[in-house]
């Protein structure tokens, strides 16, 4: 079986007991260097995440008789690798084990419910910002091309008033959570982050 296991936002305090058990018992653990390092000692062999996902799919098909854990950040079904692996390998070959998403973590930290939130992403893609701005509560995973500054500019250029909550390096010792009106987001460099946009009017 191929398990796609969510690691949570980063700190191993947020790893679920089921994730720990599967990691401890697997024959092969597949992940990026920092993920393999983060989970620590285990009995299985390690396979570094292939740069090309098609190579990963081929490798998984060749090794599918073994017990394989593919590590994913946060929750694998939320802008993670699970969708792709389900599509490529078939849902009968893949079991997804959910983890705590960086988005969920941020809402918990700021004490804001996730009811009716629109979840989207600017990670490697440009969201439809006109559609985004129709929602009163939005959360985005981002990347270094479209991050807090660029998102704030989309708001300012539309003459809208929104509050941004920027959660950087969530669950790590250097975590930082900043709340700013969009027109005051002037910093262009943020660490790995999740952005919540609130229309508070």
Ligand X SMILES: C[S@@+](CC[C@H](N)C(=O)[O-])C[C@H]1O[C@@H](n2cnc3c(N)ncnc32)[C@H](O)[C@@H]1O
Instruction: State how far the Cα of 16 lies from the Cα of 19, in Å rounded to an integer.
Output: 5
Q: In the complex, what is the shortest distance from the CB of residue 80 to ligand X, in angstroms, rounded to a whole number? A: 4
Shortest approach of ligand X to residue 201 CB, angstroms? 26
Q: Which is nearer to ligand X, 26 or 75 (CB)?
A: 75
| Interface pick for ligand X out of 141, 152, 182, 185 (rule CB under 6 A) | 141
Task: Compute CA distances 191 → 113, 117, 126, 187, 200, whole Å.
Answer: 24, 23, 19, 11, 26
113 class by beta-carbon count within 10 Å (0-12 exposed, 13-18 middle, 19+ buried): exposed
Q: Which stretch binds ligand X (CB under 6 A): 58-66, 76-84, 86-94, 128-136?
A: 76-84
Single residue of 60, 98, 193, 196 touching ligand X by CB under 6 A: 193
Closer to ligand X by CB, 73 or 120: give it: 73
Residue 37 CB, nearest distance to ligand X (Å)?
A: 15
CB of 113 to ligand X, least distance (A): 18
- Residue 42 binds ligand X (CB under 6 A): no
Q: How far is the C-alpha of 74 from the C-alpha of 107, rounded, in Å?
A: 14
* Closest approach of ligand X to the CB of residue 114, in Å: 13
Q: Is residue 192 within the footprint of ligand X (CB under 6 A)? A: yes
Give the H/E segment covering residue 28: strand 28-31
Interacting residue with ligand X among 3, 14, 79, 107 (CB under 6 A): 79
Query: Any idea of the CA torsion for 61, 63, 69, 75, to the nearest 10 degrees?
Result: -10
Whichever of 35 and 171 has its CB closer to ligand X, that residue is 171
Buried b (16+ CB within 10 A) or exposed e, 26-63: bebbbbeeebbebbeebebeebebeeeeeebbebbeeb
Site of interaction with ligand X (CB under 6 A): 9-10, 73-75, 78-80, 101-102, 123, 141-143, 167, 169-171, 192-194
């Amino acid at each position: 079986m191929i398990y796609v296991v969510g690691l949570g936002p980063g700190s191993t305090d947020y790893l679920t007991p089921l994730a720990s058990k599967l990691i401890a018992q697997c024959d092969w653990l597949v992940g990026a260097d920092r993920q393999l390092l983060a989970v620590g000692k285990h009995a299985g062999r390690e396979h570094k995440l292939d740069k090309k996902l098609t190579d990963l799919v081929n490798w998984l098909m060749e090794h599918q008789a073994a017990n394989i854990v593919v590590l994913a950040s946060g929750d694998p079904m939320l802008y993670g690798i699970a969708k792709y692996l389900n599509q490529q390998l078939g849902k009968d070959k893949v079991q997804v084990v959910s983890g705590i998403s960086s988005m969920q973590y941020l809402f918990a930290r700021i004490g804001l419910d996730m009811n009716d939130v629109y979840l989207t992403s600017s990670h490697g893609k440009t969201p439809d910002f006109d559609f985004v701005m129709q929602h009163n509560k939005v959360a985005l995973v981002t990347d270094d091309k479209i991050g807090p500054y660029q998102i704030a500019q989309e708001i300012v250029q539309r003459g809208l008033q929104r509050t941004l909550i920027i959660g950087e390096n969530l669950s790590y010792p250097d975590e930082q959570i900043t709340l700013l009106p969009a027109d005051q987001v002037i910093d262009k460099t943020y660490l790995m982050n999740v952005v919540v946009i609130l229309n508070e009017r």
